[in-house]
Amino acid sequence: MRLCLPFSCDHAEPEVGSSVKSVDGRASDPRTRNATGRFEIDRCRVELGSLIFLRLGRGTHDSFLINAISLDRPIISAWELGRMKSTAATPSPKSPTSLSDVDDVLVKAVSQHHGDPDFWSSKTRDRTDSAHCIFQYPAMMVPLVQRRLLEAVLAAQPGIASLFDPFVGSGTSLVSGMHFSLDVFGADINPLAVLISRVRTSRKVEFTIGSIGAEIVRRARSDRRSSIETNLANRDKWFTTTALDELSRLRRAIRTCENLWARRFLWVTLAETVRLTSNDRTSTYKLHARPTDEIATRSVSPFDVFADLASRNADSFAFFRKKLRDAGALRNARYCAVSEVVLADSRENPEEWTNLAPFDLMMTSPPYGDNLTTVTYGQHSYLPLNWIDLGDIDARVDADLLSTTLEIDRRSLGGRDAVAFRDEERLFAASLTLKRFAETLPAKPHDARTRLMRFYRDFETSLVAMIGRMRQNAYMIWTVGNRNIAGKQVPTDAILSELMENLRCRTVKTLTRRIHHKRMPDRNASSATMREEKILLLRKL
C-alpha cells in the first residue's frame, strides 16, 4: 500500500539528512514528492479502519496515529513528518538500575580460568560465528572471547542494559551484546566499518537474502552493457579487464534491489569480492599490487566469487539469527532491543548520542597506533568503497574520503597535525609511562616521536569524549595491542591505564590473551611482532 500525505507550504520542510522509513526498512528522502506534490510513505499499515499507524524512522521515538477520514487536507506538516519515529519499529532504550562497584566480584569471575591459558584466547575459531565471516576486516575481535567477557560482567553487574563501542570496526562487540539482548550502540570514522556493522546488527533481516543474492548474480550475468561503474583512479592497475567488467555488472544489479538492508548485505558481499578479485595482495592490509607476471596468469571471476560469498554469508546470517532466537533476543523475527551504528569520529560527540547516553558498558578495541604505520584500516577499505554506493551507507559520507588511498587513515587518530608543546606536557603529566617511553626513542627514524605523540594526543581527546558518555560505575573493556615504533614496543596497556586513571577511572583487572590466528606476515607492519593482546577492565568512578 502507498499512502500520500499532502504537503503544506505553511510548514518548514524536513531538514536535509532526515529520513522516512517504511515497514520493510527502506529509507526514502522525505523531501522527494510525487507528481501531485505530496510526500509518499511506502507500505503503511492500516489499523482499525480509519486509523493509519505510521512506522517511521529509527531510534528512540513516539508512535503517532493519524485520523484519516480525509487525506485531501494537510494532516501533518512535512517538518513533523521528517521527525516522527515509531516505538513499533524500534524499542526505547532500557532504563537500567543504578550501577554499582562490584570490582571484587568481577575480578573473581574473570580470574577463575587462570588454569586455562587459552580461555581468553580461543585457540579454535569459528568464522561463521555471529556472521563474522562476511568481510575480512583488519584486526577483528573474537566473538566467543567477547561473549565470555560480557557474561562475566553481566553476572557481576546485572543492571547493565546498554553496550557502547566507539571504535566499532566490523561490529563484533555489538553482535556479542545482541546475544544478551542488550541495547547496542557503535560508531566508526570508516564508512566500510559502519556498513558492515549496520548489516550485522540490523534489527530485522531479509531471510530470503540467499535467493536474492542468486538473483543478483543472474541479472549481472545477463547484463550486456559495457560501461565501467567506478571512477577509481588507476583502475587498470588494481583490476583486470574481466574484473572491471564483472564488478560493474554486479554493481548495476545490486542497485536494482529495493530493500535497503538487502542492498547493504550485497554491498558487503561485493566489498569482499573486490578484496579477493583485485590485483591487490591479500597478505597485507596496505595496498600493494601483485607482481605483473602473477596478475597475467591469475584467473578469477567476480561472478563466481560473489555467488559463493552470497550463499555462504546468507547461511552465516541464518545461523546467527537462530542463535539470537534461541537466546530469546528476537521478537517476531526482530531483535528485541535497540541497535544503532553511526558514522562519527571518536573525538567528537555525535548528536545521535544526545538522547541515548549515558551508556552502561563499553567494549572496544582501539587502533594500536596511527593507521598509516600500523593497521591501515583506510587503505584496506579503499578499493571496496570505490565500488559501493556511499549513500546506501550513510547520507553523510564525505566522498573526499576516497580522494586518495591514504585519506581515511589521515583523518583517523594520529593521522595529521603537529602536537603543541602544551599538549605534550599535559600527556606526560597524565602518563609517566608515555613520558619515559618517548624519551627513550632513538633519533631515527626522525618522525617516530611525532607519530607517537600525535596518536596519543588524539587518543586522549577521544577518551575524554567516550568517558563523558558513560554512566557512573560503568565498566569499560579494552582489548589493546602493543605495537612497535622505532624497533621498540609501545606499552599501550600501561599508557591507557594511566590516561584513564587521570580521567577518574580505576583499572580493575588486566588479562592477557594470545593471538593464535595472525593474518599479517611479520614483515608487513609495525604491529607484526605482537603475539598477544591485553584486555583491560576499567570502571568509571
Q: What is the pLDDT of residues 429-463, one digit of tens each?
A: 999 999 999 999 988 888 889 999 999 999 999 99
Residue 265 CA, distance from chain mean position: 13
**Structural domains in the chain plus CATH codes:** 1-90 (no CATH), 103-201+333-375+394-540 (3.40.50.150), 209-314 (no CATH)
d(CA 440, CA 165): 33
CB distance 61 to 84 below 8 Å: yes
Determine contact, residues 510/517, Cβ cutoff 8 Å. Answer: no
pLDDT bin (cut points 50, 70, 90) of residue 127 is: low
Packing angle, helices 492-502 and 448-468, rounded to 10 = 40
Range with the poorest average pLDDT among 255-259, 438-442, 491-495, 518-522: 518-522
Q: What is the pLDDT of residues 323-380, one digit of tens each?
A: 999 999 999 999 999 999 999 989 888 888 888 889 999 999 998 777 566 677 778 8
Measured distance CA(19)–CA(175) in Å, rounded: 25
* Prior bond of 358 cis (ω within 30°): yes
For residue 223, count other CB atoms closer than 10 A to its CB.
15
pLDDT of 271 above 60: yes
State how far Cα 72 lies from the chain centre. 43
Buried b (16+ CB within 10 A) or exposed e, 460-483: bbbbebbbebbbebbbbbbbbbbb
**What average pLDDT score do residues 119-145 get?**
67
DSSP 189: S
- Residue 452's pLDDT is 92
Q: Is the peptide bond before 442 cis (omega within 30 degrees of 0)?
A: no
Report the distance separating Cα 390 and Cα 399, nearest Å.
Answer: 8
Residue type, 261: W
Distance (Å, rounded) from C-alpha 430 to C-alpha 461? 13
- CB atoms inside a 10 Å sphere around CB 91: 17
pLDDT higher than threshold 60 for residue 79: no
Q: What is the pLDDT of residue 89?
A: 54
What 3-state class would DSSP assign to 539? strand
* Gap between the Cα atoms of 308 and 320, Å rounded: 18
The predicted structure's pLDDT at residue 507: 96
Q: Tell me which of 301 and 118 has the higher pLDDT.
A: 301
d(CA 147, CA 125): 13
Name the CA radius of gyration of the chain, rounded.
Answer: 24
Whether the Cβ atoms of residue 410 and residue 416 lie closer than 8 Å to each other: yes
Length of the chain (residues): 541
> Taking a C-beta distance cutoff of 8 angstroms, is the pair 541, 506 a contact?
yes
Q: Residue 58: pLDDT above 70?
A: no
Q: Which residues pair with 186 in a beta bridge?
A: 165, 341
Identity of the amino acid at 395: A
| CA–CA dist 132, 127 (Å, integer) | 6
Average pLDDT of the chain to the nearest whole number: 79
Kind of pairing between the strands at 532-540 and 505-514: antiparallel
507 CB-near residues (< 8 Å, 6+ apart): 497, 500, 501, 536, 537, 538
pLDDT recorded at residue 308: 95
Query: How many Cβ atoms sit within 10 Å of the Cβ of residue 489?
Result: 14
Q: Considering the chain, what percentage of its residues have pLDDT values greater than 90?
A: 50
Residue 54 above 70 pLDDT? no
- Read off φ and ψ for residue 514, nearest 5 degrees: -80, 145
Q: In what order do the strands lie in the sheet with 51-53?
A: 45-47, 51-53, 65-67
The percent of the chain in helix, strand and coil, each rounded to the nearest 5, is 40, 15, 45
